[in-house]
Structures are given as C-alpha cells and as structure tokens.
Amino acid sequence: MTESIENNLLKHSSSFFSNKNKHLKYLVKEEKRFKNFTLSAKNIFYDFSRQIIDDKTFELLIELAKEKKILSKFNDMVNGEIVNKTENRPALHTLCRNTGKHNIFSKEIKRVKEEIFEFSQKIHNNKILSSTGKNFTDLCILGIGGSSLGANFVIQALSGKKKLMNPYFIESCDINEFANFLSSANLETTLFVVVSKSFKTTEVLLNEKFVKNLLDEKNLDYKKQIVRITCKNSPGDKPDEALKIFHIFDWIGGRYSVSSAAGGLPISLVYGFDVFEEFLKGMNEFDNHVLESDYKQNIPLTAALIDIWNFVYLKFSNLAIIAYSKLLYKLPAHIQQLYMESNGKTINENNEITNKTSMVIFGDTGTKSQHSFFQLLHQGQVVPVEFIGILDTDYQNLNYTNNELWVNLLAQADSLATGKESEILFKKCNGNRPSSIITMENTQPENIGKLLSFYESRTVLAGFLFGINPFDQFGVEAGKSLASEKRKIINDILYKNTNTKNISDSDDFYSKIIKNKKILYS
C-alpha cells in the first residue's frame, strides 16, 4: 500500500527536530540554496531560503498540491464555478480586475466601474457639489472589517501620491473615531461613503444615523452628502435616501472586495480613477501569474504550501508580517482579517472536524517592531516571519534611509535563522526561526495591486489546501446574532427598566454599571 503524502510529510518534518544538521544555520549555507528557494514574477521577488525546508520538503509539498488539484480549484474559482459551497455561490472577486472568463456578471462589473469613473470625475471637476454648493474636500468612509480594511490599506500605501480629497475612515461605533475626524475635517464639504453589503451591520448603520443627525444639526442636507455601497435590493439600496448608490455583489466576499466598488470608489475619489485602474492592472497581472505558472514557479502557491508546512507539520501557530515601509503599516490588519476570517475554521469541506486551520497573524512595521516584540521572536516561542522590503521610494535624495531599513531587514532575517552563540545562557539565541522576504520595486499602484493579489491568492490556495471553504464566515455571523440578543437585554434594562430576575448575573451586573457609568461593587 502506498503511503500517503501527508504521512510522508509528517515523517519528514520530524527529521528537522532530530537532525541537528537541518538547523537553518547549516541549511542557508548549502550550495545553490538561495537559487533553489527563491522565485520571481511580475517584479515581485519571493525569498523562502530561510524557511525550515529542504529539497525533499518542497517536492512533497508540490506533490500534495498536485494531488489535491489546487491550481485546478483556483481556476474553477476564477471562472465562476460554485466554490463557496456552504452558501451555494461563486467567489468572483477576481472578475473585478478582469481576470478569468467573461460571464453573466461581467456587465454588472462594467456598469459599476463606469459609474465610479463618472461620479469621481464629477466630484473632482466640481460638477457635484455639497449641500451648500461648495466643492467637496474631505472623504469619510463608514465601514467595518472587509468593508474598509482593504481600502484603508491601499489609500495609506499610496499616500506618497497627490491626494484629490482628504480621506478619513470610521471603522467602529466608538465615538472617539468621530471626534478625531471632526477635529480636522470640514463637515460642510465632506462626502460620506457608507459601505455595507447587507446594510444590516449594526455599527455601520449606527454611524450613518449619527452622520445624518450631525448634518441635520448643521442644516446640511444629508441626501446630498452621503453615498452608499451595498448589494442590490438590500435595505440600503434606496436611491431616494442618498446622493448615489453603488452596487457590490453577494458573490464578492467583503474581505476580498477591495477591487470592487468597496475599494474602487474611495481610491478613485482620493487619487483619481486612473490610479484605481493601475491598481486593478497589477492585481490582474498577478492573478494571471497564479493561473499561468506551474506548481513549482507559482509564488502564492509556494507561500500557501509553506503556511501548511509551518502550521500543520512544524506546529508553528503564528505568522508575523513585518513591512519595512511606513506606507504599508495597515497591511497586517487587512491580511489578519483576510486570512483568519477565510481560514479560521475547524470544519472542512466534507463537514468533518479538522485541526488544519489558520495560523494567528499579527504584525507591524520595521524597524519599530524590532524594539517591541522582536525579543519574543528571537528568544521566545518560534514565530515564522514574513518580511517585506521596498527597493525605491518617492524621496530620491533620502534613499540612504531606505538603505538602513534594508540593513535591518536582512540582519533580522539572518539572525533569526542562524542565532547567536553565547556561554552565558540568557544571552544565547538558538536561531532556527523561519522567515521569508518579499521584495517590491516600489509602492506604485500597480505593485500594491500585485501585493494584494498575492495575499488574496495565497489565502484562497491555503484554504483549498486546508480542505476548508475560505469564503464563508459563520463564526462572524454567530457573534452578530448573539449581539442582537444581548442588545435587546441591555437596552430593555437601560431604557425600559425591565425586571432583571430572568437574566444572567453577568448581564445584570454589566447593564447596571453601563447605566450608572460607574463600577458598582456588591
């Protein structure tokens, strides 16, 4: 009987703990190591030579991907097959950047893009004015999770470019976020974009209500200063309630929606539609890299296979994303949601319990993070790291500062791999801590598009490898459902003085201290 690839990988993984010669300090010195464990495509360079793998590991992982027909599944997704089986729908976010076969949804994507172009042009050319007849200067996006994290990252990543409007994001119902916005924006010349697929997300609806009341208090017509991005026929799809409605579709998941209207409208308003088009071009190019490359040359697939290797076989439960560019400082938060909401599940596609699920993702920018949590990375639990470096900046006369970022990035990667010997035990660093390096030439829109396509594709491919559905999020829905029940209990106590005999001690306690705004000791 032929032994399964999974069993072979399991046996092979144990050799890295029992054989001291498979420590990274020896592996990185092997002949042709760098050449054999680096990939390049579309001006993205992926270096995984400091991962705890060898030739046999890579061969077994490729065999696993082939056995599971991972690239065929990705191709099915791009071409509109029902890959989101729990919700019986396709996952066609890639169609937004013209990847894959044109189908019945293509006309809708084209229509929305044309509407974004026309609307953003009119805003920039002062053909659409605020309720007092003034030019719009500020843009405030009301969204949460997938409705804002991707757009927020892209707008920040492109902030070296000239802004046509000043962007603000309100991503929770915390009034402090509004206070921050109101302290610097001009309410009279602010355009509000409300983003919610279902238009049932409580935080977003609460924020829209707050904005309406705010505008009413200032005698400003909210219908002339609010636009909505939502699904067709959702409760918010009411043209008489907003300046304009832009549609997003149920076959585009929120966390994959940055190339749809959810990202396209904010990006176009802040930087211009041409910048959004460049961004989409980059996404399309890297989507096609996934579709056209074979198993061994496929960068997102390789990254997904390394995820599986590190998490399932080497038992590393975290991944740190460290970008050595301030422009990318919002990337970890977006990828955290993208990957963990997609793959953080313990039920596989066969409706069976599995322990093959997402690692925990966190991150920050370098070199700042070196002076905070890198202590743990060097001497605490083993956390694989993904470094991101940028070769060129918009400040040519200050490139020496970027050179220093690269010095630190490479030093950290090598130090994690090789460690540091010392006779004094508490000064010793054991090394053998894996990392990869992603290199980009610059942060122009096209390259930011390629980077996001890499992460979206890698997330989907990892989901397929885990054997789970990376497109649903029933855990999130469960939390929302319980919040509705909890809201009724607490509001009844706060505003109706309802009898508390039938509620839990916890709900009774917290309702009372919320009402009194003071901790009440029993």
Catalytic positions, written as ranges:
341, 371, 480
Residues in the chain: 522
Query: CA–CA separation, 350 vs 355, rounded Å?
Result: 14
CB 75 within 8 A of CB 291: yes
Q: Which residue has the tokens 């697929």?
A: 197
Of 118, 112, 152, 129, which Cα lies nearest the Cα of 225? 129
Query: CA–CA separation, 240 vs 15, rounded Å?
Result: 66
Of 130, 181, 443, 139, which Cα lies nearest the Cα of 267? 139
Of 364, 297, 336, 399, which Cα lies nearest the Cα of 62? 297
CB 384 within 8 A of CB 435: yes
User: Which residues are bridge partners to 140 per DSSP?
Assistant: 168, 192
Both ends of the chain: CA-CA distance in Å? 67
Of 473, 509, 470, which Cα lies nearest the Cα of 489? 509
Q: Which residue has the tokens 């890297």?
A: 286
Query: CA–CA separation, 508 vs 52, rounded Å?
Result: 52
Contacts of 333 (CB under 8 A, 6+ apart): 149, 153
Measured N-to-C along each axis, helices 149-157 and 261-271 cross at an angle, to the nearest 10 degrees, of 30
CB 90 within 8 A of CB 83: yes
HSE on the CB side for 490, CA within 13 Å? 16
State which amino acid sits at residue 99.
T
